Amino acid sequence: MFGLKQTKESTEHTESYYAATADQTVNYPKLEGDLQTDVVIVGGGFSGVNTALELIEKGYAVVLLEANRIAWGATGRNGGQIIGGVGGKDPELFVKTIGEEGVQTVHQMGFESGEIIRERVAKYDIDCDIKWGYCDVAIKPRHMRNFEEWQTYAKQTGNPHNLQLLDANEIKQYVGSDNYCGGLLNATGNGHVHPMNLCAGEARAAKELGAQIFEQSRVTEIKHGEKVKVLTEVGSVSAKYLVLCGNAYMGELVPKLSKKILPSNSSVIATAPLPELLAKSVMPSDVAVCDPRTALDYFRLSADNRLLFGGLSNYTGLEPSNLKATMAKKMLKVFPQLEGIDIEYGWSGQMGIGINRMPQMGRLADNAFYVQAYSGHGVAPTHIMGRVIAEMIAGKPERFDIFTKIHHWSFPGGKLFRRPAMALGMLYYKIIDEF
């Protein structure tokens, strides 16, 4: 078991491979004074930035307020894996509340989510090392049986991308490890990206279209009314609409929302750049990879041939005290050929977990909306959720309304006990994963 520590976060980017290779071409000021706008957005991760971009493309005046830096939160720290689908692999679980049509719409949104990234990168010429190709890997034969079901299910639900089952020999063309007995390849619909640079490029596009973006501008109070007003330490914004996108980093700004989300920790390491032959021995086809466990490993190569290896998710919300060493041990279990390679970066971040794993999107008031809780799977879904919120503000609420029907439970145990309760829950699933 690893040790855990409580860290006080800086308002600058955490030290990561992404921050060290970030596009720093645009900086944003701190909000000072009082502004008026159509829509004020709180949070400058993928959710907030993409909501801003969708709205500004529709002609709305937009102000975006970020407490730290654009992509400072989960958006700038994640595994960079673009995985289509909204709410996991099974929106059917919600058929009683959203109906067959609703389930179909959620499936379509899942396919659209990755396409938005593809289109946006091309349209705004965003330099973010994007590559297509992704593989789920099987550790046990029962995982292969699940993959067969997923493959059939993908066809039935109209996934436009072909999913290919890989046997124990074929998987070696994608992952140079003896740990896996097969896989499921999505060569065109899923992939990987430098997430901080993707988000920075999307923010730049929004700014160039007229969005006003402010960093180091934490919203500390919301005043609801015919117009909604948000206050920062030294400024305020009044707007017709408010969209809250602070996700796992929003703290207790809106207690009603924080009750439904558990900030949980996941960690990533980046090796030194690997010599070409070694990189090829580890990831021969340069795809992104996840295993199917609750506390999963996820990994991929960066543009400069580092292995980015993530995992160690825990519901305590705390960072492991010896992050690099603990993660390196996990990485060597998968890739013993990397023994002796330097680990140059190690970092962690908070993702918002919801009990039913479906992203939470809804209304706080007639003119105040929120989206949160992608449960560790948000790089692509944030893009479609931003689009759906913008549609709703523009008078097309159909897709938004599907999400407001889904019930999201509060975590049991109140502020004090919800973490230990969920940590125990995760331990249960970790044990189940061993069989």
Ligand X SMILES: Cc1cc2nc3c(=O)[nH]c(=O)nc-3n(C[C@H](O)[C@H](O)[C@H](O)COP(=O)(O)OP(=O)(O)OC[C@H]3O[C@@H](n4cnc5c(N)ncnc54)[C@H](O)[C@@H]3O)c2cc1C
* Smallest distance, ligand X to C-beta of residue 199, A: 8
- Residue indicated by tokens 């109070």: 221
Size of the site for ligand X (CB under 6 A): 45
Taking CB under 6 A as the rule, does residue 42 contact ligand X? yes
DSSP label at residue 302:
-
Give the separation between CA 23 and CA 303, rounded to whole angstroms. 14
* Smallest distance, ligand X to C-beta of residue 99, A: 26
Choose which of 45, 84, 273, 292 interacts with ligand X (CB under 6 A). 45
Q: Which stretch binds ligand X (CB under 6 A): 14-22, 32-40, 319-327, 371-379?
A: 371-379
DSSP label at residue 28:
-
Q: Compare residues 221 and 366 and give the one whose CB is closer to ligand X.
A: 221
Q: Compare residues 218 and 418 and give the one whose CB is closer to ligand X.
A: 218
* Smallest distance, ligand X to C-beta of residue 296, A: 10
Q: Which residues pair with 243 in a beta bridge?
A: 41, 369
Beta strands 131-138; 288-290: pairing state = parallel
Q: Which stretch binds ligand X (CB under 6 A): 21-29, 59-67, 109-117, 160-168?
A: 59-67
Q: Which stretch binds ligand X (CB under 6 A): 21-29, 103-111, 162-170, 370-378?
A: 370-378
Taking CB under 6 A as the rule, does residue 144 contact ligand X? no
Q: Classify burial at 198, counting beta carbons within 10 Å of its beta carbon; exposed 0-12, middle 13-18, buried 19 or more.
A: buried
Taking CB under 6 A as the rule, does residue 349 contact ligand X? yes
What the block records as the tokens of 51 is: 């909501």
* Smallest distance, ligand X to C-beta of residue 31, A: 10
Q: Which stretch binds ligand X (CB under 6 A): 110-118, 162-170, 243-251, 397-405?
A: 243-251
What the block records as the tokens of 262 is: 């558990």
- At 167, the amino acid letter reads D
Q: Which stretch binds ligand X (CB under 6 A): 14-22, 26-34, 134-142, 374-382?
A: 374-382
- Residue indicated by tokens 């654009």: 70
Q: Which stretch binds ligand X (CB under 6 A): 60-68, 87-95, 203-211, 393-401?
A: 60-68
Taking CB under 6 A as the rule, does residue 47 contact ligand X? yes
* Smallest distance, ligand X to C-beta of residue 126, A: 16
In sequence order, which residues have a C-beta less than 8 Å from that of residue 394 and are 6 or more positions away?
A: 55, 58, 60
Choose which of 44, 84, 110, 320 interacts with ligand X (CB under 6 A). 44
**Cβ neighbours around 32 below 10 Å, total:** 12
Q: Compare residues 232 and 431 and give the one whose CB is closer to ligand X.
A: 232
- Residue indicated by tokens 């502004």: 35
**Residues 248-267: x/- map of binding to ligand X (CB under 6 A)?**
xxx--x------------x-
Q: Compare residues 171 and 245 and give the one whose CB is closer to ligand X.
A: 245
In sequence order, which residues have a C-beta less than 8 Å from that of residue 409 and are 6 or more positions away?
A: 260, 355, 356
Q: Which residues pair with 314 in a beta bridge?
A: 265
Give the separation between CA 24 and CA 46, rounded to whole angstroms. 17
Give the separation between CA 70 and CA 214, rounded to whole angstroms. 9
* Smallest distance, ligand X to C-beta of residue 253, A: 5
Window 8 to 27, contacts with ligand X (CB under 6 A): none
- Reduce the DSSP state of residue 314 to 3 states and report it: strand
Give the separation between CA 406 and CA 280, rounded to whole angstroms. 44
* Smallest distance, ligand X to C-beta of residue 371, A: 7
* Smallest distance, ligand X to C-beta of residue 377, A: 5
Taking CB under 6 A as the rule, does residue 218 contact ligand X? yes
**Residues 67-96: x/- map of binding to ligand X (CB under 6 A)?**
xx---xxxx-xxxxx-x-------------
Choose which of 21, 48, 150, 384 interacts with ligand X (CB under 6 A). 48
Q: Which stretch binds ligand X (CB under 6 A): 25-33, 94-102, 167-175, 343-351?
A: 343-351
Q: Over the range 345-360, which residues count as b (16 or more CB within 10 Å of their CB) and which as e?
A: bbbbbbbbbbbbbbbb
DSSP 97-135: HHHHHHHHHHHHHHHHHHHHHHHHHHHTT--S--EEEEE
With residues binned 3-state (H G I as helix, E B as strand, rest as coil), the percentages for the chain, rounded to 5, are: 35, 25, 40
Window 267 to 326, contacts with ligand X (CB under 6 A): 268, 298, 310
Residues in contact with ligand X by CB under 6 A are 42-48, 65-68, 72-75, 77-81, 83, 218-219, 245-250, 253, 266, 268, 298, 310, 348-351, 374, 376-380, 382
